[in-house]
Structure 1
Amino acid sequence: MITDKSCLVCKKSSNGMHFGALTCRACAAFFRRATVLKLQYKCKQGNSKCNIDGRGRYVCRQCRLTKCKAIGMNEEKVQLDYDPTYSFRGLMEDSGSDECSTPTGSPVQSEYSPTNLSRKSSIESTDMDPNFLFTFAPKVPDKPNMIIDFSNLVKKIETAFSVKSMKDESELQALTASLKHFRHGQKPKSQVSFLEKVDVTTTVEWLNDRIYKYSCWFSASKSLMSLPLNQKMQVFRSSWNVVRTFERLELSIKVFEENAIKSGCMVVTDDYAMQWDKTYVDLASITELTNQYFNKLFEPYMCRYIDEVARPLLELKLTDEEVVFCMVHLIGLDDAELTHETREVCEQMRSDIADQMHSYYTNQTDIKMYSTRLLVLMKLVKSMKRISREKSKIKELIWLFDIYHADISEPYFFEMF
């Protein structure tokens, strides 16, 4: 719902007048950076009609900049000799969820000034380190942007979403069967190869494969397939990565058992695995920042996934039905851009799955007092949501500061960490 205090660019909450218009801090920082650095962008769709509401502001910079100018933001009001500091809380509030608390009082340097990164060693903090300073690395002149195109993947997903299921199964049965299907090719521990380095091109190939498999799992839900295509895609785009992370964590426990905790072993494909303290993604083709920088940036979240999610999973030893229960409850993680009808469908689906879990526990297991176990599963879901929301704030800052020098057709799908 748009209010008189909404940002006139992206419709999120504003915090005052910036350069002649009512906007949020994130859009003000984007406009300043584009003006100061004289940046020029190309429309992602080529028609200058991209939807930049909410998180859509990160999808197409050209349309976002056009909107900034259309609502009256004035380049002459950008003081080139003024280097403002926004509070970290402000940037976090602009990019994050209202459900997450944020630290206060720590300055972040201007969006175009290099800084150094510092962080806490503790992984127990529920928020990002308030001493964190985000780095901006200017692009090397004349170095072409890497093109990362997911358009063929989108077409495949839309095709999968258009197929009507004729099977007379419950949501739990259908989604469990689909989960087993795309896990069927997973190699045993003795046949899994460990990686030391992965380049961006290889990562994109794996993303195309894994994202499509998750879309096939997603399409096994009659509830979700009842939605209009644009809402199916919106729910999937915003949910696939947190669902993927949970599923990979749980599968890693099945494959590596205690080594998933002790050595940070995680399966990434049917044939390959990584170790969080030894494997790195080589990002040299799309950024001037070092791989060590990104390792330090995301390491606290990876550690929390192990400590808060993988460790309990090792003790619980989930069944496939329980994995599906958790995955379903992670769908719709970011529902800010979903319609009221879509949110109701997601909520009804979660309710139906909970009812079907009652039948599953009663008729297919020896677990009679299962309510406590379900509470533990919901605690895992809550931990996954909390960590993923906090990690997503870093990702949004990456888009805000143009850290990746690449033309990416689907920013939602470019989730490597």
Structure 2
Amino acid sequence: MSCSTPSSSECSIESFENNDFKCEICLGKGHGNHFGVNTCRACAAFFRRMILGTGHRQKCRLQKTCRPKNGRWFCKKCRLEKCYDLGMTPDNIQYDRDAFQSSQLFLENRRKRKIEEENIPTSVEKFMGVPHLIFQFRKEKYSKQLWTYIDFGPFLEDVEIVLKTEPEFEAKTLRMTTIEKLTYGLKQVRRKQQNHLYLMNNFGKEETCSLWKSQLMSTANWIMYFNEFRKLPFHQKFEMIKCMWNVWGRLERLSMTAEMRVNGLCGKRQFVVSHDSLIDYDEVACDTQWSTSYTQEELKMFLDPPTYYGEPLVESFININPTDTELVFLLSNLCLRLTGKKLGGEFEEITQKLQDVLADSLHKYYKQMEMSRYAHRLAKLLTISNEWLALMNRRKERIHIAYILDAFHVKFSHPELFQYSC
């Protein structure tokens, strides 16, 4: 049934699709009178979209000779011209009207929802327009909030020196494969690792910055044993180090923590943060005044020490027990994957080539170990990478809420250094 008033912008609610009624625009199955012309729903919706949207910017695909085929138009410009030629007018468009309001089922469902909403008490979230969690933890924003500025300039100057210096190789290392040299480099970085560690009772700004510097320098010193990486231009090496240091540093410490626990040198609730010290999650006092106005208890909603350091992965390291060579492959592969994904372009090609070199080198390693079928072992190693990525994704959700609530008041001279820190 068509509308009783042809000039109306909408047809009657009782309108229905009739096989004998054709749309004057596309010649397909019609529906009713829309904007003054007998059309189908699709053409009516098209006309409305074009008038309210980008109709004035459309161009003909051919030479203004387009025609509908099998009830479909392939040129928006000619379809819109056809609408105008037949007398469709936008004068009566209701700009606040839903495109499917003419549907009787839609109106009925909307009526039921409205009745249900009226019977539901107004919640705090609905009244305030803020999710419950954010409302509960919202802090007053002071007009003169103090921010802590961390300058990474001196740290990066030391990294530049490392990237421009050839590492020292012993004679026996010259004929090593890539992964063997990286394994040798890992041992060199860990030379200062002590078995009897100092238990840190307080962890504040000074300790945090010291940890960051240590991770930056360790990553730079280690990866310079990668022949193919060392041959890259300086600017490429520098950008890649800034992208991978935080992931490499924390995963390397996780593996060392696992090793220490197996050897009885570290407790189950302790984490080895450096070559000479560790922290106890339950006893360490964290001085957070330099970075936030939130209390330690409130911060646990966003960032607790075990999750920050990746504690759930320690057990995986213990169970899988990778060799030093397997650990090097694991660290290298994950860091290169994330770096290529983040930087893209030429870096994605570079990291892919470096991963291929590592894969070939690992194959030679397993062949020397007489492990012709190592796919199962490799799959176990990669589960650690997947667990790490899953953990970081969960942390990002919490960190995102923390930023919404303006929880942290720290600014970095080089914020790109923390693109994979959460």
In structure 1, how many angstroms separate the alpha carbons of the residues matched to 2:330 and 2:151? 31
CA 1:203–1:262: 2 relative to 1, 3 Å: closer
Does 2:357 align with 1:355? no
In structure 2, how many angstroms separate the alpha carbons of the residues matched to 1:155 and 1:359? 37
Q: Whose RCO is larger (CA < 8 A, sep 6+)? A: 1
| 1:151 Cα deviation from its structure 2 partner | 0.4
Count of aligned pairs between the two proteins: 292
- Residue 314 (structure 2) aligns with: 310
Alignment of 1:76-115 (within 5 A): none
2:164 counterpart (142, 162, 165): 162
In structure 2, how many angstroms separate the alpha carbons of the residues matched to 1:205 and 1:416? 16
Gaps of 5+ in 2: 1-122
Q: Say which SS state the counterpart of residue 294 (structure 2) adopts.
A: coil
In structure 1, how many angstroms separate the alpha carbons of the residues matched to 2:206 and 2:308? 26
| 1:135 Cα deviation from its structure 2 partner | 4.6
- Between structure 1 and structure 2, the one with the greater Rg is 2
1:152 counterpart (133, 151, 154): 154
In structure 2, how many angstroms separate the alpha carbons of the residues matched to 1:157 and 1:273? 25
- Residue 187 (structure 1) aligns with: 194
Opposite residue 259 of structure 2, the aligned amino acid is K
In structure 2, how many angstroms separate the alpha carbons of the residues matched to 1:187 and 1:133? 47
Alignment of 1:163-242 (within 5 A): 163-164=165-166, 168=174, 169-188=176-195, 191-242=196-247
CA 1:407–1:316: 2 relative to 1, 3 Å: closer
| 1:341 Cα deviation from its structure 2 partner | 2.2
In structure 1, how many angstroms separate the alpha carbons of the residues matched to 2:334 and 2:274? 21
In structure 2, how many angstroms separate the alpha carbons of the residues matched to 1:222 and 1:396? 38
CA 1:299–1:286: 2 relative to 1, 3 Å: closer
In structure 2, how many angstroms separate the alpha carbons of the residues matched to 1:193 and 1:166? 30
Opposite residue 175 of structure 1, the aligned amino acid is L
CA 1:260–1:409: 2 relative to 1, 3 Å: farther
In structure 2, how many angstroms separate the alpha carbons of the residues matched to 1:181 and 1:368? 30
| 1:368 Cα deviation from its structure 2 partner | 4.9
CA 1:348–1:195: 2 relative to 1, 3 Å: same
- Residue 284 (structure 1) aligns with: 289
Q: Say which SS state the counterpart of residue 315 (structure 2) adopts.
A: helix
Opposite residue 184 of structure 1, the aligned amino acid is R
| 1:138 Cα deviation from its structure 2 partner | 4.6
Does 2:330 align with 1:326? yes
CA 1:234–1:328: 2 relative to 1, 3 Å: same
1:252 counterpart (257, 261, 265): 257
In structure 1, how many angstroms separate the alpha carbons of the residues matched to 2:264 and 2:392? 23
Q: Say which SS state the counterpart of residue 297 (structure 1) adopts.
A: coil
Q: Say which SS state the counterpart of residue 176 (structure 1) adopts.
A: helix
CA 1:139–1:157: 2 relative to 1, 3 Å: farther
| TM-score, normalising length: structure 2 | 0.59
Q: Say which SS state the counterpart of residue 331 (structure 1) adopts.
A: helix
Q: Which moved more, 1:328-337 or 1:191-200?
A: 328-337
| TM-score, normalising length: structure 1 | 0.60
CA 1:200–1:140: 2 relative to 1, 3 Å: farther
In structure 1, how many angstroms separate the alpha carbons of the residues matched to 2:148 and 2:253? 28
- Residue 46 (structure 1) aligns with: none
CA contact (8 A) 1:172 1:324 kept: yes
| 1:241 Cα deviation from its structure 2 partner | 1.7
- Residue 390 (structure 2) aligns with: 386
- Residue 377 (structure 1) aligns with: 381
